[in-house]
Copies of this chain bind each other. A is one copy, B any other.
Amino acid sequence: MNQSNLPLLNAMQASASRQSAPFYAPGHKRGKGTPQPLKELLGNQVFQADLPELPELDNLFAPQGVISQAQQLAAEAFGAEETWFLVNGSTAGIMAAILATCDAGDKIIVPRNVHRSVISGLILSGAMPIFIYPESDPAWDLAGSITPEAVETALKQHPDAKAVMVVYPTYHGVCGDLTSIAEIVHRHHLPLLVDEAHGAHFAFHPHFPISALAAGADLTVQSTHKVLGAMTQASMLHCQGNRIDRHRLSQSLQLLQSTSPSYLLLASLDAARQQMAFQGKALLEQTLQLAEHAKTQLKKIPHLKILEPATFATPGFFALDPTRLTVCVANLGMTGYEADEILHTQLGVTAELPTLRQLTFILSIGNTHQDINQLIQSFLKLSPSPHLPISPSPNLPISPATISPREAFFAPAEMVPLEQAGDRISTEIVCPYPPGVPVLVPGEIVTTAALNYLQQVLQAGGTITGCSDPDCKTLKVVKNG
């Protein structure tokens, strides 16, 4: 295939420049009705290209023209047999992967540090999660990968499982031994599904960890917007082999995505693929050099610690994305939140993810030397603070499951104060940072150990996400009786 082609983007360019009186949605009619403040924010040109499913622009749910061609080019570039463009983020892809492989009541083996979209997929499908707790490094207070041995054990204990899902890489760039995991999963004749939201760039430069498809994954979901050049909310799902029912996968994706898909998002996927196919290696070479430079300089700054393969010693650890930068600030006597606040509001540097002890930065093809210098200069200005050093999180308690996430979601529920939630069944995801591993998912019993753990995280200055009460003072539990 000719990877220089841009079938979808070029068709949109042609439609955008054609003068045809528009009697279709969107109502702004190529910008004529766009509110003035929105034009001032976004420019005029984008509205010319905010087009609907015109005959020449194909149909996302039954692609036979330019979308189909663009997806085929993407499949080739990313190393897949078939690719689907997603306009509802990787969220839609993860949920569709579960719906396509699990019926209600079916078991699926998943790591505990899954993204909330996995819990949503469990709720919608009715599948029952068999959790593998990831290894974590107390010095770093962050979750790593699951081990091949843990996958093997889970499969032996649950020979009736229908699929295995793995997070690869984690938010912090940590990669497990996916090739070995794929070999084990396939020996059990099951499909391996991968949440590769943070790894869309792996296929385009040899210095990155192996891509999920190259490691043998049957299905992988990538946020093409996170590190590559697509627009926010634009993702891809890739598939290979015959362990996935692709027809059911297509139908599942149709359940979860708007029937008025944004062509801006779709065009950005076509363009991001062409960019990587042609310049991917060169662009990522630059990014790798910037990352190397940043790490070298930051390591010279007293009290800072950089996450590197040599400093992260958890079982199952296999590789680290060299462009994902995690800096521990605990020895500066401040929390990651405090450092983030100063960096963002005073020093002109915005991180992706602050946690209690560290800050994580995404470096991508869009970063410049100037960004890196700003980063280094800002850390030089971060003075040590008189606080006491921050203690790591206690050990994560294991919460026993009683009913499936779907049953918990649909059960009659009530809000109770957190301290009165003991022995009740949670209907919510309760996920403290650090380490970003849920303490409770829907259907699990709120143990005293879990409540103590949450208290300790909050007292240490950590945050808890996922609850419908943003302050986590109340919890939604299944109604008694």
Contact = CB atoms under 8 A, between A and B. Distances in A.
B232 A268 contact: no
A349 B23 contact: yes
Contacts of A104: 410
A460 interface: no
A41 B22 CA distance: 19
Given A37-B9, A41-B267, A268-B38, A233 B251 contact: no
Contact of A255 (B62, B124, B233, B367): B124
Nearest to A22: B350
Interface in A31-52: 31-38, 40-47, 49-52
17 contacts: A21-B370, A21-B371, A22-B350, A23-B351, A23-B371, A27-B228, A27-B364, A33-B364, A33-B366, A33-B367, A35-B274, A36-B275, A50-B231, A87-B88, A124-B124, A251-B468, A256-B256
A35 to B, nearest CB: 4
A468 B250 contact: yes
A103 B117 CA distance: 21
A124 B124 CA distance: 6
Interface in A46-98: 46-47, 49-52, 54-55, 62, 64, 87-92, 95
A89 B23 contact: no
A120 interface: yes
Contacts of A21: 348-350, 367, 370-372, 374-375, 378
A437 B47 CA distance: 33
B233 A91 contact: no
A256 B99 CA distance: 13
Contacts of A363: 23
A283 B36 CA distance: 13
A364 to B, nearest CB: 4
Interface stretch (A158-166, A219-227, A295-303): A219-227
Interface string A116-144: 11001001100000000000000000000
A227 B19 contact: no
Which of A16, A247, A258, A371: most chain B Cβ within 10 A?
A: A258
Given A27-B227, A362-B27, A64 B124 contact: no
B370 A28 contact: no
Task: List the 3 shortest-distance A-B pairs measured between CB atoms, nearest first.
Answer: A33-B366, A89-B258, A29-B366
Contact of A91 (B90, B116, B257, B325): B257
Given A229-B28, A364-B29, A20 B87 contact: no
Nearest to A224: B27
A365 to B, nearest CB: 4
Interface string A394-418: 0000000000000001100001000
Contacts of A50: 231-232
Contacts of A272: 35, 38
Contact of A38 (B20, B124, B267, B368): B267
Given A42-B264, A233-B262, A366-B29, A352 B24 contact: yes
A317 interface: no
A344 interface: yes
A64 B22 contact: no
Interface string A331-362: 00000000000001000111110000000011
